[in-house]
Structure 1
Amino acid sequence: MNNELIRQRITDLNVCVIIPTYNNHRTLNRVLDGVLELTNNIIIVNDGSTDTTSTILKDYQQLQQLHFPQNSGKGIALREGFKQAIALGYEFAITIDSDGQHFPTDIPDFITELELNNGKDLLIIGSRNMEQEGVPGKSSFGNKFSNFWFWIETGIQLKDTQSGFRLYPLNVIKNLKFYTSKFEFEIEVIVKTAWKDIEVKNIPIHVLYDETERVSHFRPFKDFTRISILNTWLVFLTGIYYFPRRLFRNIKKKGLKRFFVEDLLGTNDSPKKKALSIALGTFIGFSPLWGLHTFLVITLAIFLRLNKAISFAFSNVSLPPFIPFIIFASLELGQWVLGERISYSIEEMMDNFQAFEHLKTYLVGSFILAIIGATVFGLIGYIFFSFTNKKNIALKNE
């Protein structure tokens, strides 16, 4: 495509490109030169680099530059870049990482998508092929995990929520309040944008993971902890306000029957997949791994590629009102298997039951109960979904 035409399209849509950088001197030139072939509307944010970044940027004095005296985090770098872009009158900003994993040649695809949306506010995230060779396993898992929580928090299903190659609507961004400063900012901003009823979508992009030159500043423990804390807060807000609002809107739009079939049952999944999802959720819900149920069921559903909504829903068989009965049934099964006899009632168990004295019995019984529950609920689910699936096919063929 003609680069001059692309330049004009970028100018007409009032788009700039923000490039946050921190100690990426090996790839910075390549990224900057690649973007310069398409536009001069560039804002570079040097986030306190201690390598030769400052020297490199002296060759790009014609571009807008922000220099921090010390590293503040990607979130702060992006927020300051947005402020500068808004002050300069831009309406949209494309962000691209300076570590060389993104290809500036994909920028026209963002512009095309924006044009197809008639210039309306839109947030676009570049979707990487996480199955391609060279993609770190931790990146692939982290992305799937993030995608799930984004779906929980917004109801929007995306293939990639962690890519830093994005197009942001600045008219929306300038009216939002943000509290995060590191990598977790990229989650906060897309969730809060979606909560404003702005469309958030993926478009495919190319990606390169060259470990010989790429420098990643993601700290697995610290940054994952920050992200987990943020998601906990966002899920809380979702539960008390945004989910009820979204639920009411969807039911009103689709009607109760259609909402149940499409949104809760996942009509595109096979009966086998739905049944296995029920079985997984039930097993985790009956298991003695209290406090870890949500984390385990989501993680396993992601790895096993099961229906996460169904798995999560059935893991709630262990809601507080049912816990005494689950423990009672587990102890009964444990006694039967181990040949023991414990004299107690449900009332005694709730008031003054010495759990640690019967821990072995409880653990054995709870896993047996989990296996039985998963088998029974899974089979019932398979029969139910097979029947409804055949019925739906028959109705479509009439």
Structure 2
Amino acid sequence: MKLLTAIPVHNEEKYLEEVLRQVLRHADDVLVVDDGSKDRTPELLKGFPEVRVIRHPTNLGYGAGLRTAFGAALDGGYDALVTLDCDGQHEPALIPEVAAKLAEADMVSGSRYLQVFDPSQRPPEERRRINVEVTRWLNECLGLNLTDAFCGFKAYNRRALECFEVTDLGYAMPLPIWVQAVQHGLRIVETPVPLIYLDESRAFGGSLDDSTYRLNHYRQVFSDALKAAGLEVAGGCRG
């Protein structure tokens, strides 16, 4: 299986070098999508000549970074894509394990709530509350059985990538992707990954830093995605 591992980054000078060193131990073909970083990220990336870099001239958003990664995997003739974040919250050693689960699915999604790896690790309460609520929407409206709506540690086979159109360039990007996955009948599995929070102060930016605004934004994006897909949602949906 020809596998690409992609990492979207924006101003990740704090974690970039250590994350890349770890990723390169477990992945042969690595892409970093630099979404308009203004810190030392571009300079630090020069120290990793074995890593391919695609740079957005300006910051377009988390979803835009993943859209570029999806396109690179398809254009490069890859059979599969693994994505993970660059904030130290994902364990690169699990890349082979996550990718291997594509033998039974089109889309593998990491879950930080399937298994407790470290009882001392707890998510910020506001983020956990929103994740629980959005995960409920996905399960009730799409007939899924997920435990984590927003984990960025995922794997996709080529069939899945060919189905997706990234319609939200920001942090709500996963919601239309979940809808499209169901729309196209993709096989989805979750796999346990550790819950790691190294920096609880990280912000979403702008209005999204307000949790009420963020949840309402997610609700609107999800509703729009359902309408665009023409899905007849499962009974009891209260998204």
| Coarse TM-score class (shorter-chain normalised) | 0.7 to 0.9
Matched, 1:224 2:215: yes
How many residue pairs match? The answer is: 230
Greater C-alpha Rg: 1
Residue equivalent to 1:233: 224
Instruction: Give the residue type in structure 1 aligned to 2:225.
Output: L
Q: CA deviation at 1:175?
A: 3.7
| Contact 1:173–1:193 (Cα < 8 Å) also in 2 | no
3-state secondary structure, aligned to 2:46? helix
Residue equivalent to 1:94: 82
How far apart, in 2, do the equivalents of 1:49 and 1:178 lie? 21
Structure 2 residue runs of 5 or longer lacking an equivalent are none
How far apart, in 2, do the equivalents of 1:81 and 1:35 lie? 16
Residue equivalent to 1:123: 107
| Contact 2:111–2:191 (Cα < 8 Å) also in 1 | yes
How far apart, in 2, do the equivalents of 1:140 and 1:160 lie? 9
Matched, 1:165 2:165: no
Correspondent of 2:59 among 39, 63, 71: 71
| Contact 1:101–1:209 (Cα < 8 Å) also in 2 | yes
Residue equivalent to 1:38: 26
Structure 1, residues 28-68: CA drift from partner, whole Å, max 9, x if none? 11111111001221110000111110111001122211011
Instruction: Give the residue type in structure 2 aligned to 1:106.
Output: L
Structure 1, residues 185-228: CA drift from partner, whole Å, max 9, x if none? 1121122012111112211001311128x744363335434312
Instruction: Give the residue type in structure 2 aligned to 1:199.
Output: R
Instruction: Give the residue type in structure 1 aligned to 2:177.
Output: V
| Contact 2:3–2:79 (Cα < 8 Å) also in 1 | yes
- Computed over aligned residues only, the root mean square deviation of the Cα atoms, in angstroms, reads 2.4
Q: CA deviation at 1:109?
A: 1.9
In the TM superposition, what are the counterparts of 1:1-398 in structure 2 within 5 Å? 13-115=1-103, 117=104, 122-129=106-113, 132=119, 133-211=121-199, 215-217=202-204, 219-221=208-210, 223-236=214-227, 241-243=231-233, 309=236
Structure with bigger helix share is 1
Quickly say closer, same or farther: Cα 1:216–1:102, change in 2 above 3 A.
farther
3-state secondary structure, aligned to 1:49? coil
How far apart, in 2, do the equivalents of 1:95 and 1:216 lie? 21
Q: CA deviation at 1:129?
A: 3.1
| Contact 2:34–2:54 (Cα < 8 Å) also in 1 | yes
| Contact 1:18–1:96 (Cα < 8 Å) also in 2 | yes
Instruction: Give the residue type in structure 2 aligned to 1:228.
Output: R
Q: TM-score normalised to the size of structure 1?
A: 0.54
Structure 1, residues 115-150: CA drift from partner, whole Å, max 9, x if none? 3x2xxx511110003985331001211111111111
Quickly say closer, same or farther: Cα 1:14–1:232, change in 2 above 3 A.
same
3-state secondary structure, aligned to 1:234? helix
Instruction: Give the residue type in structure 2 aligned to 1:49.
Output: S
| Contact 2:163–2:184 (Cα < 8 Å) also in 1 | no
Instruction: Give the residue type in structure 2 aligned to 1:128.
Output: R
* Greater alpha carbon shift after TM alignment, 177-186 vs 220-229: 220-229
